[in-house]
Amino acid sequence: MSDYKAPLRDMQFVLNEVFEVAKLWAELPALAETVDAETASAILEEAGKVTGGVIAPLNRSGDEEGCSWSAEGVKTPAGFPEAYRTYAEGGWVGVGGDPAFGGMGMPKVIGAQVEEMVNSANLSFGLYPMLTAGACLSLNAHASEELKAKYLPNMYAGVWTGSMCLTEPHAGTDLGMIRTKAEPQADGSFKISGTKIFITGGEHDLAENIIHLVLAKLPDAPAGSKGISLFLVPKVMVNDDGSLGGRNAVSCGSIEHKMGIKGSATCVMNFDGATGWIVDAPNKGLAA
C-alpha cells in the first residue's frame, strides 16, 4: 500500500491565502459562474481521495511489473485499466477541458493541483491522462470545428486517450529532419507513413481508442522545421455517427525497457499509410 496523502492544506493555503483566487475568478466572466472557493475545495478533496486511495497503491507494483508488448498490443500493469476507468468516470481527464465539448472547464490553477496529485501518487499512471490533456489542448486551439466536435468529447471523457508523435529514429532534437510523409487524398484526408519513437502512451489497454497527433511533411513542404504539419491519426477509425469503425494502419512495433516509470508505455509507432486529417494549416505543425 502507498502512504501518499495529497497536501490539501498546503494547496488550499496557496489558492486562498496567497493567490486569493476567488477574487480573480469573480472578475472573469468565463469563470464567475463555473468555479468558486467551495467548488474548488470539493474538487481537490475528491481528487485527493482518488489519487491516494486508487492510483498511489499501484505505483510500486506497476513499476515492478511494467508494461508488456505482444503482436496484439501493449498490456499495462495489473490494476491500471480498472484505476484508469475509475479516474475517467470521475471526470478527471477533462477537468480543464472546454465545456463546449464536455470538459469541466476548471481554470489551470485547479487543473495543475489535480495533475500534481496524480503525478506525485503515480507518475507512470499520470502520463496517460497527461498526454491526453496535451493533445486536447492542441486540438481545441488549432483543429477545425468538425474535428473538435468529433474527437474532443470522448477524449475529455477519457473514453479515448491521446498521444503526441514527434521524435523519429534519426531526428531527436532536430525535428526539421523528420521523414514521416503525408500524402493528400481526394476526400481531404491524408495517408501518413513513417516511424516515430519514444511515444508515451502510443499503445495500451486503457481506452478503446487512441488519438495520435503526428508531425509529418507534405510532398511540397519547405525544408527544415518550416515544412512540418500536424495530423490527427486515430488508432481506430471513427464513423460519421461517432461509432468506432475498423483499425487504422497504425501499429506499435515495440516498447522501451526503462530504468523507471515502467508502468508507462514508451512506444515505437509505425504508420503504414494510416488515414489522418490535418490540424491547422499546412506547414504550421510546430505552432499547433
139-162 pLDDT, tens per residue?
Answer: 999 999 999 999 999 999 999 999
Stated pTM of the model: 0.95
The set of cell numbers assigned to 43 is 474538487
Tell whether the model's pLDDT for residue 37 goes beyond 90.
no
CA distance 233 to 46: 34
Query: Rounded to the nearest 5°, which phi and psi values hold at 10?
Result: -65, -40
Which of 148, 125, 109, 95 minimizes the C-alpha distance to 22?
Answer: 109
Q: How many CB atoms within 10 Å of residue 96?
A: 21
Tell whether the model's pLDDT for residue 2 goes beyond 70.
no
Q: Give percent above pLDDT 90 in the chain.
A: 90
145-151 long-range contacts, CB within 8 A, separation 24+: 147/232, 147/277, 147/279, 148/101, 149/101, 150/238, 150/242, 151/211, 151/232, 151/234, 151/238
Could you tell me which residue, 30 or 234, shows the higher pLDDT?
234
Mean pLDDT estimate for the chain: 95
pLDDT of residue 123: 98
CA distance 154 to 160: 6
Give a three-class secondary structure readout of 144-186.
CHHHHHHHHHHHHCCCEEEEEECCECCECCCHHHCCCEEEECC
Three-class secondary structure of residue 75 per DSSP:
strand
Tell whether the model's pLDDT for residue 112 goes beyond 70.
yes
Reported confidence tier of residue 273, pLDDT bands at 50, 70, 90: very high
Scan for cell 481526394, then name that residue.
Answer: 186
pLDDT of residue 8: 97
Tell whether the model's pLDDT for residue 103 goes beyond 90.
yes
Reported confidence tier of residue 172, pLDDT bands at 50, 70, 90: confident
All structural domains of the chain, each given as residue ranges with its CATH number in brackets, are 8-143+150-156 (1.10.540.10), 158-279 (2.40.110.20)
Q: List the helix and strand counts (H, then E) for the chain.
A: 9, 11
Q: How do beta strands 190-200 and 160-165 pair?
A: unpaired
